[in-house]
């Protein structure tokens, strides 16, 4: 299957899919890792998260029924695809397929 061309793009469905499919592992106080498939090119990527203001935090899986933010502070993490595939048209100084999306993390 040919690879999608590199394109800096975001879409609301990226956010929804990533919130469902990414797992969140707390590594230590204020340090965690997000891991899951890029919603655009499906390569599993790992994203370190450092949120020194929170001792404990978790990925917030927003559902359609849940319009209100959960209690506690919400931190927005912008995730950029960091796959190592050779997407056509990618500038030499970039990595990934260009997709980016937002994940919300809340203090637990």
- Count of Cβ atoms closer than 10 Å to residue 89 Cβ: 10
- Count of Cβ atoms closer than 10 Å to residue 22 Cβ: 22
Q: State the nearest-atom distance from the C-beta of 84 to Zn ion, in Å.
A: 8
| 59/83 with CB nearer Zn ion | 83
Q: Which two tokens stand for residue 19?
A: 């919130």
Q: Which of 18, 47, 59, 81 binds Zn ion (CB under 5 A)?
A: 81
Q: State the nearest-atom distance from the C-beta of 53 to Zn ion, in Å.
A: 29
Q: Which two tokens stand for residue 11?
A: 């879409």
Which one of 15-23, 39-47, 50-58, 64-72 is the stretch in contact with Zn ion (CB under 5 A)?
39-47
Matching residue, tokens 């030499």: 92
Q: Which of 19, 32, 59, 83 binds Zn ion (CB under 5 A)?
A: 83
Q: x-or-dash pattern for Zn ion, window 41-80, by CB under 5 A?
A: x-x-------------------------------------
Closest CA to 103 of 17, 9, 6, 7: 17
Q: Which two tokens stand for residue 31?
A: 């340090």
Q: Is 18 in the site for Zn ion (CB under 5 A)?
A: no
Q: Which of 37, 85, 102, 107 binds Zn ion (CB under 5 A)?
A: 85
Q: Is 67 left (phi over 0), alpha (psi -120 to 50) or beta?
A: alpha
């Amino acid at each position: 299957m040919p690879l999608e061309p590199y394109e800096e793009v975001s879409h609301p469905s990226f956010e929804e899919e990533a919130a469902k499919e990414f797992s969140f592992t707390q590594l230590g106080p204020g340090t965690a890792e997000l891991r899951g498939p890029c919603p655009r090119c499906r390569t599993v990527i790992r994203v370190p998260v450092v949120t020194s203001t929170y001792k404990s935090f978790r990925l917030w899986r927003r559902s359609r029924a849940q319009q209100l933010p959960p209690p506690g502070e919400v931190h927005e993490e912008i995730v950029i695809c960091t796959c190592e595939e050779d997407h056509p048209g990618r500038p030499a100084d970039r990595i990934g397929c260009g997709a980016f999306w937002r994940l919300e993390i809340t203090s637990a």
